Amino acid sequence: MKANHLLRLVAAVAAIVALTGCHDAPDYKDSAEGNFDALWSIIDSRYCFFEEKDIDWEAIGEKYRSRIDADTRGLKLFNLFGEMLDELQDGHVNLISSFNTSYYRKWWTDYPQNFNLRTLEEYYLDFDWMTTSGIIYKRLTPEIGYIYYPSFSSGISETALDYVFLYLSDCETLIFDVRDNGGGMLTNVERLAGRFITREITGGYIRHKTGPGHNDFSEPYRFTYKPADEARPKWLKPIIILTNRSTFSAANDFIACMKGMDGVTVVGARTGGGGGLPFSSELPNGWSVRFSASPISDRNGNPTEFGIEPDHEVDAPDEELAQGKDAILDYAIALAGQSNQQ
């Protein structure tokens, strides 16, 4: 009888182990192959733009796995991994080690820059501007206000925005320059957008992976932006937003939100995209990997990963910028003049 009880106990414990033991975690070795498998699997299960970019990740995996040999370690291994990640053609994909960070640069290096900070500071701002919370602002003329916001990584305080918009409140048109803005925090997009609206608007749609399959996605979730508190100053007059190819990620999302709103005109070049909210993971050897995980689309459901077309496409050639002429800003100033005359 006692033996029977013991057997039952053993069976119960085995059942418990069986119930829980089937969820084994991946166990990657800290070797060239182990790290490769970890990296390939992380991207395979979590990256979100395989279909949009028509990427055959299986074939890419085979191609790069075959290049691993006994000497593949350290920088050589890092460069191999970086090359494989470049196949994703995504500025949100990085491999980060203590000695280097891989970075797909072609999304902007293959395009004209259309911006020169020195030219802006010297010839348009006369080395004289005001700045707060990472925002550079000035009245270019009594009628034209100008804001240059170089990064959404700089936290914007509501108080700082109060001062900026109060200072510019007498102007008739605002030029909002986000050229070379590589993105940052989406909460800054929300805060900034709140100054340009009087009612809640659709900011866009976001999806996330629901499983490791390439097409395992949630339904698009509509997110909204609310206007800033009524007591705070807002800008409800015409806005001209300046963009270039290096307008990326959160800055790209800002354009997606603003473009098409009443009184908003986007001038410059197509933005760089970066419409996938990045996730992080890591390899057994300690290298960190970042990649697009949650696709964001604009309020009409269009993907933003491949950039956003301006309303007025204008180029600012490098040779002109070197001579102190910013054709995109000049175009915006002329447009503002026309708008003010009307």
Partner 1 sequence: MNRFTLLPAISMLALFTGRAEAFDRFVEVGEPPECSADSVVRALEGTMCCFSFHEVKRPVTQVYMLEAGGTSALDTYLSPVRYHGYNLSLAGSWSKRLPWGGNSWQMTFDADAGFSRMLNPAKNALMLGFDASFAWGAAWTRTIDTGVSFTAGGSVSAECGVLYLTRNSNNPASAKAALSIAATASASYPFRIGRLPVRVSDRVSLPSLSVFFSPQYGETYYEIYLGNRSGLAHFGWWGNRFCIDNLLAFDLDIGPSALRLGYRYTLRSSWTNSLNTQIQSHSFVVGWIPHGIGLRRNAPSPEAISIYSL
| Interaction site with partner 1 (CB under 8 A) | 16, 19-20, 23, 25-26, 28, 30, 38, 41-42, 46, 48, 98, 186, 206, 208-212, 216, 218, 221, 223-224, 277-286, 288, 290, 293-294
Residue number, 136 or 206, with CB nearest to partner 1: 206
Helix (H) or strand (E) holding 332: helix 327-341
**Residue at 20: amino acid letter:** T
Closest approach of Cβ 286 to partner 1, in Å? 3
Q: Going by DSSP bridges, is the β-strand pair 221-225/144-148 parallel, antiparallel, or unpaired?
A: unpaired
Structure tokens of 183?
Answer: 């993105």
Nearer to partner 1 (CB atom), residue 123 or residue 217: 217
d(CA 211, CA 224): 26
State which H helix or E strand residue 14 sits in: helix 2-21
Smallest separation, CB 279 to partner 1 (Å) = 5
Smallest distance from the beta carbon of 186 to partner 1, in angstroms?
A: 6
How far apart are CB 335 and partner 1 at their closest, in Å?
33
Backbone angles phi, psi at 204, to 5 degrees: 155, -160
* Shortest spacing between CB 105 and partner 1, in angstroms: 19
> Minimal distance in Å, beta carbon 66 to partner 1?
23
CB nearer partner 1, residue 191 or residue 209: 209
226 φ, ψ (degrees, to nearest 5): -105, 150
Q: Which of 329, 337, 331 is nearest to 180 (CA)?
A: 329
Q: String of b and e for 80-98 (b: at least 16 CB within 10 Å)?
A: bbbebbbbbbbbbbbbbbe
Q: Is 126 exposed, middle or buried (0-12, 13-18, 19+ CB in 10 A)?
A: exposed
Closer by beta carbon to partner 1, 208 or else 234: 208
* 129 vs 217, beta carbon nearer partner 1: 217
- Which CB sits closer to partner 1, 21 or 341? 21
